[in-house]
Homo-oligomer: A and B are copies of this chain.
Amino acid sequence: MPDPHRTRGSYAKGIAKREEILERALEVVAREGMRGASVRELADAVGLSQAGLLHYFDSKEELFTEILRKRDEIDATERLGGGEGDVREGLRRVVRHNSEVPGVVALFSRLSVDAADPQHPAHAFFLERGEGLRGSFAASFRRRQEAGEISDAVDAETLARLLQAAADGLQLQWMLAPTFDMADTLDALFIALAGPLTRPAEDTREP
């Protein structure tokens, strides 16, 4: 390591700056939404020129992918972290927060579509993200099924897929017309799945 100060220093500074850019970009997207999701506008918003911003990212697509990755990172630490709540509670917190950042929801939805192309930089990201998400959803459902809280007529993996689908689909509906509560609506799926089993009180007071 020749001159660790310069090499490690500049490297560290590059990384730090990059992270800082992503955090600011995420805030800007959250506030201003997706209008003009061009590198130029985002660069202005974060206080850099277009070329200056692209200095840190290979392309526009990679930039936006990294913004979403940063979002997930923050969600994981600030809303899923702690480990005290279960999946249902954590998901509810994330969705409720999403209701306050429509621009981020728009960015996520747009990239969800674009990333279908295997060539897109976000393809692998969405693939891994989905698998991870469904994995933890499935584990949670499996636990509930074993506890007898929900029916095992449908396997936990499929329920997990449906839960993820519902969450994503609700976002599309909500962007089109934010006239309902995303968190409550998604939570209703848990209620519906638990079905009659969560209401033993009714059965006990039967003649």
Stretch in contact with the other chain, from A54-62, A68-76, A195-203: A195-203
Chief secondary structure at chain A's binding surface: helix
Q: Are B170 and A165 in contact (CB under 8 A)?
A: yes
Q: Are B153 and A195 in contact (CB under 8 A)?
A: yes
A196: chain B residues within 8 A (beta carbon): 151, 153, 195-197
Q: How many chain copies?
A: 2
Q: A138 to chain B: closest CB distance in Å?
A: 13
Assess A164 versus B175: contact at CB under 8 Å? Given A158-B185, A188-B158, A196-B151. no
Q: Is A154 an interface residue (CB 8 A)?
A: yes
Complex Cα gap A122–B201 (Å): 48
Complex Cα gap A74–B168 (Å): 26
Q: Is A159 an interface residue (CB 8 A)?
A: yes
Total contacting residues, chain A, CB less than 8 A: 45
Q: Are A113 and B109 in contact (CB under 8 A)?
A: yes
A170: chain B residues within 8 A (beta carbon): 161-162, 165, 169
Complex Cα gap A188–B196 (Å): 18
Contact of A169 among B127, B164, B177, B185 (CB under 8 A): B164
Q: Are B116 and A176 in contact (CB under 8 A)?
A: yes
Q: Is A48 an interface residue (CB 8 A)?
A: no
**Chain A stretch 153-207: residues in CB contact (< 8 A) with chain B:** 153-154, 158-159, 161-162, 164-170, 172-173, 175-177, 180, 185-186, 188-189, 191-199
Identify 5 residue pairs between A and B in the complex whose beta-carbon atoms are under 8 Å apart, listed by A's number.
A112-B176, A116-B175, A151-B196, A158-B188, A169-B172
19 other A-B residue contacts (CB within 8 Å) besides A110-B113, A113-B172, A154-B192: A106-B116, A109-B113, A109-B116, A112-B176, A113-B113, A126-B176, A127-B177, A130-B173, A150-B192, A153-B192, A159-B192, A162-B166, A162-B188, A162-B189, A162-B192, A165-B172, A166-B166, A168-B168, A169-B170
